[in-house]
């Protein structure tokens, strides 16, 4: 079953386990036991595995 994490309230449940969701405009999608997270800013997206820790802060799209 798929579960989406889009709003702040939805993200609060899993933000500690998946800190990448702190990314502005991030969307999380949980499928079974796999979390896919995308940080979307207008023209692109950076995707990270759950073990990426703080790598999302180095996303070129976010650092424009």
Q: What confidence tens digit (pLDDT) does each residue in 33-58 have?
A: 888 888 766 455 666 665 566 666 66
Is pLDDT of 22 > 50?
yes
Residue 29: pLDDT band with limits 50, 70, 90? very high
pLDDT of residue 42: 46
Q: CB neighbours of 63 closer than 8 A, spacing ≥ 6? A: none
Is pLDDT of 60 > 80?
no
Is pLDDT of 62 > 90?
no
Between CA 57 and CA 30 the distance in angstroms is: 21
For the question of whether the overall pTM of this predicted structure is more than 0.85, the answer is no
């Amino acid at each position: 079953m798929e579960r989406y994490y889009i709003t702040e309230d939805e993200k609060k449940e899993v933000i500690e386990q998946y800190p990448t969701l702190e990314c502005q405009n991030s969307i999380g999608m949980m499928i079974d036991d796999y979390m896919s997270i995308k940080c979307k800013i207008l023209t692109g997206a950076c995707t990270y595995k759950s073990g990426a820790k703080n790598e999302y802060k180095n996303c070129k799209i976010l650092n424009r």
